Amino acid sequence: MTAERFTNGTIVSYPYLWRWQADEGREHGEKDRPVCLALTVPDPRQNMTHLVILPISGTPPRSDQIALEIPDLELRRAGLSVFKRGWVTVSEYNYDIAERSWYFDAGQTPGGWFGPRFLEDIRQALRPILAAHAGRIDRTR
């Protein structure tokens, strides 16, 4: 299994596990949904690719979530034209390792990608979450 074609900003399908589901003790997301690979960090020494996975939704975020609305151009670029409006949540994320994952399908074809400018907006919003070691839902177990 190789994750080489999945780079930062790639849109794929993934059974995202929301924080509220993890807090209830669930181990599996309810359905596959579009997600953004916000960060893909290869570790060639261990033949692993670390993934920071952000959920994408057509439903506005709850008051306790931080999310960025996806501009129309980015919805099209990402292959998400089925959404009239879309949001990428940055206040929580799934952490996974592509080559060892029970959930990430490295054989799938990416649905699209976010452009560099919007991806930078996502990273800026995500940076304090990562720095605070908050929002991580570990999917490697």
**Which pLDDT tens digit goes with each residue over 47-56?**
999 999 999 9
**pLDDT bracket for residue 1 (50, 70, 90):** very low
Closest CA to 66 of 11, 125, 22: 125
- Sign, CA torsion 109/113/119/122: negative
CA 110 to chain centre: 13
- Sign, CA torsion 127/129/132/135: negative
Q: What pLDDT does 111 receive? A: 95
Question: Which positions ≥6 away from 113 have C-beta within 8 Å?
Answer: 7, 9, 10, 11, 77, 78
The mean pLDDT of 96-116, rounded to a whole number, is 95
Asked if residue 4 has pLDDT above 70, the reply is no
Asked if residue 124 has pLDDT above 60, the reply is yes
